[in-house]
Structure 1
Amino acid sequence: MAAPPPPPPGPRARSQSERRLARDPAPRAPHLPRGLPSLGNSRAEGRGRRPRDAARDGSPRLIGQGGAEGRGGGGAVVRDHRVLPPPAAPPAAAAPPEGPPRGRRSPPGPRRPPPRSAPRPLASRRGAARPPRTARRGLAARRVLPRAGAAGSGAEPRPCAGCPSGTMALGMAALRRGGGAAPRLLAVAVSCQSCRPRASQCPGDGGHGQPKDQQPAAPGRARRGAEPGPAAGSPPLPAEGADTKTYLWARYHEMKKLVYDLLPPGVCNLLNPATIYANNEISLGDIEIYGFDYDYTLAQYSNLLHSMIFNTARDILIEQFKYPEGLGKYDYIPGFAIRGLHYDVQKSLLMKIDAFHYVQLGTAYRGLKPVPDEEVIELYGGTQHIPLYQMSDFYGKGPSLKQFMDIFSLPEMTLLSSVIDYFITHGIEFDQVHLYKDISDAIRDVHVKGVMYKWIEKDLEQYILHGDEIYAVLNRLVNHKKKLFLITNSPFSFVDKGMKHMVGKNWRDLFDMVIVQADKPNFFTDRRKPFRKLDEDGSLQWDKINQLEKGKIYKEGNLFDFLRLTGWRGSKVLYFGDHLYSDLADLMLRHGWRTGAIVPELETEIRIINTEQYMHSLTWQQALTGLLERMQMYQDAESKQVLLEWMKERQEIRSLTKNLFNPQFGSIFRTFHNPTYFSRRLVRFSDIYMASISCLLNYDVNFTFYPRRTPLQHEAPLWMDQLCTGCMKTPFLEEMVHIR
Structure 2
Amino acid sequence: IRKLGFDFDRSIRGLVIDIHRGNILKLSRHAAIRVSYHGLTPITYSQQRKLYKSSYIDLGDPGFDIVNTTFSIAICGLFAQLVDLKDNSESHSLPDYSTIANDLSFCLDKAHRDGSLKGVVANQLDNYIYKDPQVVKGIERYILHGKKLFIVTNSDFHYTKLLLDYAINPFLKNKTWEDLFDIVITSADKPRFFYDNLRFLQIDPKDGSMTNLDGPLKKGIYQGGCATIFTNDLNLTADEILYIGDHIYGDIVRLKKDCAWRTALVVEELDEEIQKLRKADTFIQQINNFMDRKIPLEAELDQLISEKIEKGSTNQESRVSELMAEISTIDKKVSPLIKSQQEVFNQWWGEVMRVGIEESFFAYQMERYACIYMAKIQCLLDLSPRTYFRSSKRFMPHESFPTE
Normalised to the residue count of structure 2, the TM-score between the two structures is 0.89
- In structure 2, the partner of 1:385 is 56
AA of the residue aligned to 2:176: N
In 1: Cα distance, 2:118 partner to 2:254 partner: 27
The equivalent of 1:365 in structure 2 is 37
The residue type equivalent to 2:43 in the other structure is: V
After the TM superposition, which parts of structure 1 deviate over 6 Å for at least 4 consecutive aligned residues?
Answer: none
Whether the 8 Å CA contact 1:588–1:594 is kept in 2: the answer is yes
Query: In structure 1, what is the Cα distance between the partners aligned to 2:390 and 2:205?
Result: 43
Unaligned runs of 5+ in 2: 170-174, 306-319
1:477 to 121, 142, 149: 142
Secondary structure of 1:350's match?
strand
CA distance in 2: counterparts of 1:445 and 1:379, whole angstroms: 33
Matched residues in 2 for 1:355 and 1:407: separation? 21
Which residue matches 1:332? 6
Residue 450 (structure 1) aligns with: 115
- 2:295 counterpart residue number: 629
The residue identity in structure 1 corresponding to 2:5 is: D
Counterpart-to-counterpart distance in 1, 2:321 and 2:214: 80
CA distance in 1, matches of 2:159, 2:339: 43
Structure 2 CA distance for aligned equivalents of residues 469 and 406 of structure 1: 26
Provide the secondary structure at the position in 2 that maps to 1:654.
helix
Q: Which amino acid aligns with 2:329?
A: E
SS in 2 for 1:705: coil
Name the counterpart of 2:189: 519
Task: Tell me the TM-score normalised to structure 1 length.
Answer: 0.49
- Is the 8 Å Cα contact of residues 532 and 540 (structure 1) preserved in structure 2? no
Q: 2:271 aligns with which of 600, 603, 606?
A: 603
**Would the alpha carbon gap of residues 538 and 580 (structure 1) be closer, same or farther in structure 2, given more than 3 Å must change?**
farther
Letter in 2 for 1:367: G
CA contact (8 A) 2:157 2:208 kept: no
Specify the code of the residue in structure 2 equivalent to 1:524.
Answer: F
Larger radius of gyration: 1
Q: Which residue of 1 aligns with 2:243?
A: 575
- Once residues 221 and 100 of structure 2 are traced to their aligned partners in structure 1, the CA distance between those partners, rounded to angstroms, is 39
Measured at CA, do residues 638 and 681 of structure 1 come closer, stay the same or move farther in structure 2, by a change above 3 Å? same
Find the partner of 2:85 among 422, 425, 430: 422
- Check conservation: 1:531, 1:545, Cα contact below 8 A: no
Are the counterparts in 2 of residues 594 and 687 from structure 1 also a CA contact under 8 Å?
yes
Shift, 1:596, TM fit: 0.8
Greater mean alpha carbon deviation, residues 341-350 or residues 627-636: 627-636
The offset of 1:637, in angstroms, is 2.4
Equivalent residue letter for 1:417: A
Change beyond 3 A, Cα 1:685–1:545: farther
Which residue identity is paired with 1:377?
R
Q: 1:628 to 1:572 in 2, by over 3 A?
A: same
1:569–1:592 CA contact under 8 A, matched in 2? no
8 A contact 2:343–2:350 mirrored in 1: yes
1:698 to 378, 382, 387: 382
Residue 664 of structure 1 aligns to which amino acid in structure 2? W
Alignment equivalent of 1:712, drawn from 396, 400, 404: 396
Which residue of the partner structure matches residue 309 of structure 2? none
* CA shift digits 1:184-221 (9 cap, x unpaired): xxxxxxxxxxxxxxxxxxxxxxxxxxxxxxxxxxxxxx
Match of 1:617 in 2: 283
Letter in structure 1 aligned against 2:89: H
The separation in 2 between residues aligned to 1:615 and 1:543, in whole angstroms, is 58
CA distance in 1, matches of 2:83, 2:214: 49
1:656 is displaced (CA, Å) by 2.2
Residues 1:352 and 2:17 are matched in the alignment: no
Q: Which runs of 5+ in 1 are unaligned?
A: 1-326, 393-397, 718-722, 728-740
**Counterpart residue number, 1:459:** 124
Per the alignment, residue 74 of structure 2 pairs with 411
The alpha-carbon deviation at position 456 of structure 1 amounts to: 1.4
User: What SS does the corresponding residue of 2:243 show, helix, strand or coil?
Assistant: strand
Q: Equivalents in 2 of 1:334, 1:355: separation in Å?
A: 24
**Do structure 1's residue 492 and structure 2's residue 162 form an aligned pair?**
no
1:355 Cα deviation from its structure 2 partner:
0.6
Q: Using the TM superposition, give the Cα deviation of residue 616 of structure 1 relative to its aligned residue in structure 2, in angstroms.
A: 1.3
The residue number in structure 1 matching 2:311 is none
Name the counterpart of 1:564: 232
Name which of 326, 337, 349 aligns with 1:642. 326
More helix by share: 2
Which AA in structure 1 matches 2:66?
Q
Which residue type is aligned with residue 146 of structure 2? K
Map 1:95-174; keep pairs closer than 5 Å.
none
Q: Kindly indicate whether the alpha-carbon contact (under 8 Å) linking 1:492 and 1:538 is maintained by their aligned counterparts in 2.
A: no
Instruction: Quickly say closer, same or farther: Cα 1:377–1:690, change in 2 above 3 A.
Output: same
Question: What is the letter of the counterpart of residue 349 of structure 1?
Answer: N
Pairs within 5 Å for 1:6-45 = none
Report the counterpart of residue 376 of structure 1 in structure 2: 48
Residue 681 of structure 1 deviates from its aligned partner by 0.8
1:545 aligns with 2:211: no
- TM superposition shift of 1:467: 3.0
Alignment of 1:82-93 (within 5 A): none
Please say if residues 227 and 259 of structure 2, whose CA atoms lie closer than 8 Å, have aligned partners that are also in contact.
no
Q: Which residue of 1 aligns with 2:343?
A: 659
By how many angstroms is 1:493 displaced? 1.5
Shift of 1:617: 0.7
Whether the 8 Å CA contact 2:263–2:369 is kept in 1: the answer is yes
d(CA) in 2 for partners of 1:466 and 1:373?
46
Secondary structure of the equivalent of 2:265? strand
Cα offset for 1:500?
1.0
Give the fraction of aligned pairs with identical amino acids, expressed as a percent: 25
Q: CA deviation at 1:605?
A: 0.5
The Cα offsets for residues 545-572 of structure 1, whole Å up to 9 and x where unpaired, read as 322221x221111111112211122212
> 2:22 is aligned with what amino acid?
S
Q: Does 1:342 align with 2:16?
A: yes
CA contact (8 A) 2:267 2:376 kept: yes
Q: Secondary structure at the match of 1:329?
A: coil
686 and 538 in structure 1: CA distance in 2 versus 1, 3 angstrom threshold:
farther
Query: How far off its partner does 1:334 sit?
Result: 2.4
Cα distance change, pair 573–496 in 1 and its aligned pair in 2 (3 A):
same
Matches for 1:175-214 after TM superposition, within 5 Å: none
Q: Residues 619-667 of structure 1, C-alpha deviation per residue, up to 9 Å, x if partnerless?
A: 1111111122110123622431331232233233223222211011111
CA drift of 1:705 comes to 2.3
What SS does structure 1 have at the residue aligned with 2:212? Answer: coil
Q: Is the 1:493–1:538 contact (alpha carbons within 8 Å) kept by the matching residues of 2?
A: no
Give 2:260's aligned residue: 592
1:518–1:557 contact (8 Å) kept in structure 2: yes
Residues 463/533 of structure 1: CA separation in 2 closer, same or farther (3 Å cut): same
Q: Which residue of 2 aligns with 1:441?
A: 106
- Which residue identity does 2:166 align to in structure 1? H
| 3-state SS in 1 of match to 2:287 | helix
After superposition, the CA RMSD in angstroms is: 1.9
Determine the structure 1 residue equivalent to 2:310. Answer: none
Matched, 1:400 2:63: yes
Shift of 1:540: 4.1
Residue 466 of structure 1 deviates from its aligned partner by: 4.2
CA distance in 2, matches of 1:697, 1:590: 27
What is the aligned length? Answer: 379
Partner amino acid for 1:426? S
| SS of equivalent to 1:483 | coil
